[in-house]
Amino acid sequence: MTQAQLQMECKQCGCPADINNDSTKDEFDINCGRCGSHHSQKYEHTLVSIGPMKVEKELDGYGVSRVTMLDGISQNTHYTDPLTEDQINIYQSMFNSPHILNDQSYVVIYTPDGHKTLFGNPPKDFFLSYQEYIKKYHSEVIDS
Ligand SMILES: [Zn+2]
């Protein structure tokens, strides 16, 4: 297996970010489920290049959301642009409606000041930094 799913400290918010790594191809894909930032590197064939060309993509995160419907189906969204007023109004009416599970849904925005919960309830440990997360995870391993 050359594919590995790991976690690393998010460059933007310091929380655990998911990294998909293919070391044989020098490619990776990092997504933070706390702030929504994205960083990837892959090799692609383009019309102008003879061989595959390295394509690096880095997008700032502006927040994340999870909306869980009554049937349990949920949708996760990462924002690489600030939420518009229209989007916030749509979420407001969703979270005021009986059609979603409020306790399993959330909208968290990310600004230079940090995370801010706009609606709903982020899961326990959501705002732990990567270091805090590792410390907690390790102490649980030692305790058990
Ligand atoms: Zn992050």
- pLDDT tens figures, 82-131: 999 999 999 999 999 999 999 999 999 999 999 999 999 999 999 999 99
Q: What percentage of residues in the chain have a pLDDT greater than 90?
A: 77
Ligand 1 centroid to Cα of residue 14, in Å, is 6
Distance 50 CA to ligand 1 centre (A): 36
> What whole-number distance in Å separates Cα of residue 80 and Cα of residue 62?
6
What is the Cα–Cα distance from 110 to 113, expressed in whole angstroms? 8
Distances (CA, A) of 74 to 65, 104, 105: 10, 9, 8
pLDDT value at residue 4: 56
- Sign of the CA dihedral with 61 first, then 62, 63, and 67 last: negative
Instruction: Mark which of 59, 85, 102 sits at the end of a domain.
Output: 59
pLDDT given at position 1: 42
What SS3 state is found at 74? Answer: strand
Q: Which whole number is the average pLDDT over 34-43?
A: 96
Q: Which residue range(s) make up the domain with 110?
A: 63-120
Q: Which of 15, 31, 59 delimits the end of a domain?
A: 59
- Say yes or no: 79 and 52 in one domain: no
The closest alpha carbon to 25, from 52, 61, 5, 50, belongs to: 52
Give me ligand 1 centre to Cα 116, in Å: 13
| Mean of per-residue pLDDT scores for the chain | 91
Q: Write down the pLDDT at residue 45.
A: 85
